[in-house]
Structure 1
Amino acid sequence: MSSNLHPMLNTAIKAARAAGAIINRAALDVEAVRISQKQINDYVTEVDQASEATIIETLLTAYPGHGILAEESGRQHGARDSEHVWIIDPLDGTTNFIHGFPVYCISIALSVRGRIEHGVVYDPTRNDLFTATRGRGAFMNDRRMRVSKRTRLSECLLGTGFPYRPGDDFAGYMQMMAEVMQYTHGLRRPGAAALDLAYVAAGFTDGFFETGLSIWDVAAGSLLVTEAGGLVGNFTGEADFLEQRECLAAPARIYGQLVKLLGKYSKFAGVEDKMAVHASLSKGGEAGQE
């Protein structure tokens, strides 16, 4: 907690740390955690729910007139018509947590009249706190963050996520990754999108792309990236991406290069681009049958 930070950001930090304590205690005996399946390969645990309840209680105690949009409880809590809406992912990386794989985080953002103004991403396993307030920069543990200075895609390490739900376009994603991997230094899939975005902001990776993400996965992390000097949008480079289930983040020079590679895979791509991807996939299928 810092007197230099905006009071609403301080409240979000307090909520994230309280949730992190719950998660860390549960991680000591993860096999005892009760798990429910929302759909195939999509799980929620009692820890997600306890973390979310603590975050909501902390936020609404401080700001009872604010709205809440949370992954597990939706808009059940808070004021429905408020211009201030907290967007919460209480445990991003639940699958990692269930397996004891220590890559997961808490994500809290505040939207004011539809624009993200404050963001917190907290990694409880490393006690790493990533924060941003619009116009005031982004920080990791009180140290100012800046995106990577690399300008050549061939030197870049990128983060991504893999499809895992029924109905996801597995073939298209494999084609997209195969193309990206030819032009980059490496590709990583840690499994927690909010933390992936924080790592772009910190310069640990040089970019991130993924489809199928919800607003609570990207709201806080996107502000971290832009306040650290990077760009965030969909695969065609459009900035209005938060609810489009498509996210691309990188420093400006790398962002432009990635848009050229990934734009044709976007659901917003032009007809010719989509036809080119479809033709490439068809050729791949025919080659596999030979």
Structure 2
Amino acid sequence: MSKTETARLMEAVRQAVLASGERIKADWDAPRDVRLKGRIDLVTATDLAVEEGLKEALARVLPEAAFLAEETAARTVLSGLTWIIDPVDGTTNFAHGFPFVCTSVALYDGQEPVVGCVNAPLLGQCFTAGKGLGAYCNGESIRVSRTDRPEAALVATGFPYAIRENLDEIMADLRVMLAETQGIRRPGSAALDLAYVAAGRFDAFYELALNPWDVAAGALLVAEAGGRVGSYRPDGPYCLGDFRILATNGALHAPMLALLAD
């Protein structure tokens, strides 16, 4: 895909995601229509409405592309051009009135990212990236931080819905990170955590048991902002659907891998 076509798609996605953010803002002060889809995993009417609206808008942008969307996903294997959508990343935050909430949309060709957008409408921050075109927040170029020591690093993480099944690993990693870094934050939206790594607000992010729609756009943002995204335990390239993800500013990648080693 040419850079001209990628730039066109990046702008079209940005416009579609910004429009969807108006629904999130409109629903913010309304009574929450919330139901459980797992023991602690929530879905709201806003999730469903935003996802449907995005699918309609993106189908007009690129009719030949398939969809992998959180609330209607029937598969997780990527093949060909695919829109990957998380309509409300941070649904639990949204349900409780905590504004660290975003929409994440990415276009992938198989496992190759093309464009990505993470929009936090309640914070007024829209992050975009295109393969080979860089990363941006509200139209301004962003770059990862230059922090190169764990003790100077602010690190983000998250806890999966399957927390009981992974509690020992989560607590072991958290114990190390609390002792060896400047601080740990757990805001509750992996897509926005990754966007903040891209913008240099966090120096690194790690988490396990995430879905493709949680990280597809954010991973491209980090890479296009000069950072590095990989797996850990084992160390290697990250593919959507891998069990563990580590995103850093690049300078911290090896030290973070060492802290997260078996």
Alignment TM-score, normalising by the size of structure 2: 0.93
Q: Distance in 1 between matches of 2:171 and 2:69?
A: 31
Does the 8 Å contact 2:59/2:65 carry over to 1?
yes
Aligned to 1:187: 184
SS at match of 1:97: helix
SS at match of 1:138: strand
Q: Distance in 1 between matches of 2:206 and 2:163?
A: 20
Between the two proteins, the alignment pairs up a number of residues equal to 257
SS at match of 1:253: coil
| Offset at residue 143 of structure 1 (A) | 1.1
| Offset at residue 24 of structure 1 (A) | 0.5
Does the 8 Å contact 2:86/2:103 carry over to 1?
yes
Q: Distance in 1 between matches of 2:238 and 2:173?
A: 22
Aligned to 1:46: 45
Q: Distance in 2 between matches of 1:73 and 1:152?
A: 41
Larger Cα-atom Rg = 1
| Offset at residue 216 of structure 1 (A) | 0.4
Q: Which amino acid aligns with 1:162?
A: F
Larger RCO: 1 or 2 (CA < 8 Å, sep 6+): 2
Aligned to 1:73: 72
Provide, for residues 135-178 of structure 1, a one-character-per-residue CA deviation record: whole Å limited to 9, x for no partner.
11111111111101011110000000124436421122111101
Aligned to 1:99: 96
2:245 corresponds to which of 244, 247, 251? 247
Aligned to 1:285: none
Aligned to 1:150: 147
1:222 corresponds to which of 219, 222, 233? 219
Does the 8 Å contact 2:208/2:243 carry over to 1?
yes
**CA RMSD, Structure 1 to Structure 2 (Å):** 1.9
| Offset at residue 240 of structure 1 (A) | 2.9
Q: Distance in 1 between matches of 2:246 and 2:79?
A: 29
Q: Distance in 2 between matches of 1:115 and 1:130?
A: 19
1:1-290 equivalences in 2 (<5 Å): 6-29=7-30, 32-75=31-74, 83-165=80-162, 167-235=164-232, 236-264=234-262
Q: Distance in 2 between matches of 1:173 and 1:114?
A: 27
Residue 4 and residue 145 in structure 1: after superposition, are their counterparts in 2 closer, same or farther (change >3 A)? farther
Does the 8 Å contact 1:105/1:121 carry over to 2?
yes
Q: Which amino acid aligns with 1:190?
A: P
Q: Which amino acid aligns with 2:189?
A: A
Q: Distance in 1 between matches of 2:169 and 2:58?
A: 40
Q: Distance in 2 between matches of 1:151 and 1:15?
A: 37
Q: Distance in 2 between matches of 1:175 and 1:35?
A: 33
Does the 8 Å contact 2:100/2:189 carry over to 1?
yes
Q: Distance in 1 between matches of 2:205 and 2:52?
A: 30
Q: For structure 2, which runs of at least 5 residues remain unmatched after alignment?
A: none
SS at match of 2:246: strand
Q: Which amino acid aligns with 2:147?
A: R
Q: Which amino acid aligns with 1:40?
A: R
Q: Distance in 2 between matches of 1:241 and 1:115?
A: 9
Residue 175 and residue 142 in structure 1: after superposition, are their counterparts in 2 closer, same or farther (change >3 A)? same
Q: Distance in 1 between matches of 2:246 and 2:78?
A: 30
Does the 8 Å contact 2:206/2:246 carry over to 1?
yes
| Offset at residue 263 of structure 1 (A) | 2.9
Q: Distance in 1 between matches of 2:167 and 2:110?
A: 36
Q: Distance in 1 between matches of 2:55 and 2:146?
A: 37
